[in-house]
Amino acid sequence: MRQRLPDAGTPWTDLATRMKDMASGDVDWRHGRAAVYVFDPGPDVLAVQREAYTMFMAENGLGPRAFPSLAAMERAVVDFGLGLLNAPDDADGTMTSGGSESILLAVKTARDYAAAHGMDVTRGEIVAPFSAHPAFDKAAHLMGLKLVRVPLGADLLPDLAAMNAAIGPRTFMMVGSAPCFPYGLIEPIAALGRIAQTHGLWLHVDSCVGGYFAPFAAMNGEDVPPFDFRVAGVMSMSADLHKFGYAAKGASTVLYRSKELKDFQVFRNSNWPNGMMETPTLAGTRPGGAIASAFAVMNYLGVSGYREKAAQVVATRKLMEAGVRDLGFEVRGAPALMIFTFGSDEVDTLTVGEGLFARGWFSGRTQTPRGIHMMLSPGHRLVVDEWLLALKDARDEARPGEKFQGAVRYS
Ligand SMILES: Cc1ncc(COP(=O)(O)O)c(C=O)c1O
């Protein structure tokens, strides 16, 4: 039945209690039970996130003349991102509300750039590996474009020959991920850059999960191949602040190799009563809290703080991978950062995943191949043994031959 707005208001203390009750059935992410959706950097960073957010909660990034504070914070955040991802001096970008918006904007910008350079972009095509995030499908759907998903190689990385072969006369853009969400693998961006350059195409690197993690893992000595603006042919990148930038939700960056490219993102309209409205992103109103929180957390952590968190997460992943192998599972591909997936031919891993869920452990799944998907945060280092015990129990409970019949859902 539809709920009616109450006639009388309710005191906040009562509401706060009620809302805490409502959260009692939610996944216990504060104790490492969520390996998706939430990024737990620890209580001190969460406090900075919250306080900075509430400090600028009412302010609006739509009005940089009214709020030069937010404009200055966004400028700093974008500059930090450009520096970490080795963008040239003339590069530029904007903050957005999240990875999906960053991707939508990169596609729109690449399309408008191609159109400005004489290409007919009606039903224009984007060539992406099967591992690309569905935000590219959404962007293509919204803009009347076509996303061509190319099957992966046996190593779960893009098949370069197949990517090359998928390029046609309508193609204006190519995509690679660093890392891809499904398996946590850094894709061969340098090779994709060469293909893009040969065909005069725009290469976007989706580094939504990796953009604020991979640079620090590399500084820590992890094997991270070049995936950013150092690679010729990379025209734009998406990198989320609300993932491993540890900012409050509603914050990502979309970055371009030059100011000229970025300008194709901006929408301008003065054909209405209130004069010129210039919006760099999809949003009109832009939450000041999201900008402030990203600015505060980045400055609070600094390079040393991010390096420490990256080291914790990578060490946790290695421990979990070893434990998973000891239990007879196979880790898919060679993950390098914070995501890994695993499966088994002996038991149905999706059934095991249900067993973990029943024990309070929430993670993603993969349907191709069937597997459990883990995206780790610093908080997970405290629960490695507990999680492995739960995994062992769930594995022992799953009967050989028994197959989970439900659909695999990410959300
Ligand atoms: C590689 C990648 N791209 C894009 C996205 C979409 O980001 P968002 O959920 O912030 O829209 C995600 C989200 O997990 C991702 O992992």
| DSSP notation for 57-102 | SS-BTT-TTT-HHHHHHHHHHHHHHHHHTT--TT-EEEEESSHHHH
Task: Flag whether 377 is in a domain.
Answer: yes
Rounded distance between C-alpha atoms, residue 357 and residue 193, angstroms: 40
**Binding site membership of 373 for ligand 1 (Cβ less than 6 Å):** no
Task: Flag whether 36 is in a domain.
Answer: no
How far is the centre of ligand 1, averaged over its atoms, from the C-alpha of 287 (Å)? 19
Task: Flag whether 19 is in a domain.
Answer: no
Task: Flag whether 28 is in a domain.
Answer: no
- Per-residue pLDDT tens digits for 24-65: 999 999 999 999 999 999 999 999 999 999 999 999 999 999
How far is the centre of ligand 1, averaged over its atoms, from the C-alpha of 16 (Å)? 31
Are 363 and 349 contacting, i.e. CB atoms less than 8 angstroms apart?
no
Residues 129 and 231 grouped into a single domain: yes
pLDDT score, position 401:
82
Residue 31: how many CB atoms within 10 A of its CB?
A: 13
What is the extent of the structural domain holding 66?
A: 51-268+280-298
Q: How confident is the model at residue 407 (pLDDT cuts 50, 70, 90)?
A: confident
Question: Which of 45, 1, 39 minimizes the C-alpha distance to 302?
Answer: 45
How far is the centre of ligand 1, averaged over its atoms, from the C-alpha of 100 (Å)? 6
The CA-atom distances, in angstroms, between 114 and each of 51, 91, 121, 171 are 42, 19, 7, 10
Residues 179 and 212 grouped into a single domain: yes
Residue nearest to atom 7 of ligand 1 (CA): 99
Question: Which two structure tokens, joined as six digits, stand for 56?
Answer: 């600028």
Residue nearest to atom 5 of ligand 1 (CA): 99
Number of domains in the chain: 2
Residues 222 and 333 grouped into a single domain: no
Residues 290 and 345 grouped into a single domain: no
The domain that contains 308 carries what CATH number? Answer: 3.90.1150.10
Task: Flag whether 312 is in a domain.
Answer: yes
Residues 117 and 254 grouped into a single domain: yes
**Binding site membership of 99 for ligand 1 (Cβ less than 6 Å):** yes
pLDDT score, position 156:
98
pLDDT average, residue stretch 335-361 = 96
Coil vs helix vs strand at 411:
coil
Rounded distance between C-alpha atoms, residue 144 and residue 149, angstroms: 16
Q: Give yes or no for residue 140 having a pLDDT over 90.
A: yes
pLDDT score, position 200:
98
**pLDDT averaged over the chain?**
97
Task: Flag whether 40 is in a domain.
Answer: no
pLDDT score, position 406:
87
pLDDT score, position 411:
85
Handedness of CA 161, 164, 166, 168 (dihedral sign): negative
Residues 293 and 308 grouped into a single domain: no
Are 238 and 252 contacting, i.e. CB atoms less than 8 angstroms apart?
yes
**Binding site membership of 292 for ligand 1 (Cβ less than 6 Å):** no
Residues 211 and 258 grouped into a single domain: yes
Residues 372 and 309 grouped into a single domain: yes
Residues 88 and 219 grouped into a single domain: yes
Per the listing, tokens 């950062």 go with 337
pLDDT score, position 400:
81
- Per-residue pLDDT tens digits for 141-184: 999 999 999 999 999 999 999 999 999 999 999 999 999 999 99
**Binding site membership of 74 for ligand 1 (Cβ less than 6 Å):** no
In the chain, what percentage of residues exceed pLDDT 70?
A: 100
Residues 253 and 391 grouped into a single domain: no
Residues 108 and 224 grouped into a single domain: yes
Q: How confident is the model at residue 402 (pLDDT cuts 50, 70, 90)?
A: confident
Backbone angles phi, psi at 346, to 5 degrees: -80, -45
- Per-residue pLDDT tens digits for 276-330: 999 999 999 999 999 999 999 999 999 999 999 999 999 999 999 999 999 999 9
pLDDT score, position 92:
98
Rounded distance between C-alpha atoms, residue 242 and residue 294, angstroms: 8
Rounded distance between C-alpha atoms, residue 17 and residue 103, angstroms: 38
- Per-residue pLDDT tens digits for 196-213: 999 999 999 999 999 999
Question: Which of 135, 215, 233, 147 minimizes the C-alpha distance to 179?
Answer: 215
Task: Flag whether 65 is in a domain.
Answer: yes
Report strand pairing: 364-367 vs 370-375. Answer: antiparallel
pLDDT score, position 399:
86
The domain that contains 185 carries what CATH number? Answer: 3.40.640.10
Coil vs helix vs strand at 237:
strand
Residues 97 and 215 grouped into a single domain: yes
* Ligand 1 pocket test, candidate residues 237, 240, 337, most atoms within 8 A of CB: 240
- Per-residue pLDDT tens digits for 84-111: 999 999 999 999 999 999 999 999 999 9
- Which strand (E) or helix (H) includes residue 149? strand 146-150
In the chain, what percentage of residues exceed pLDDT 90?
A: 97
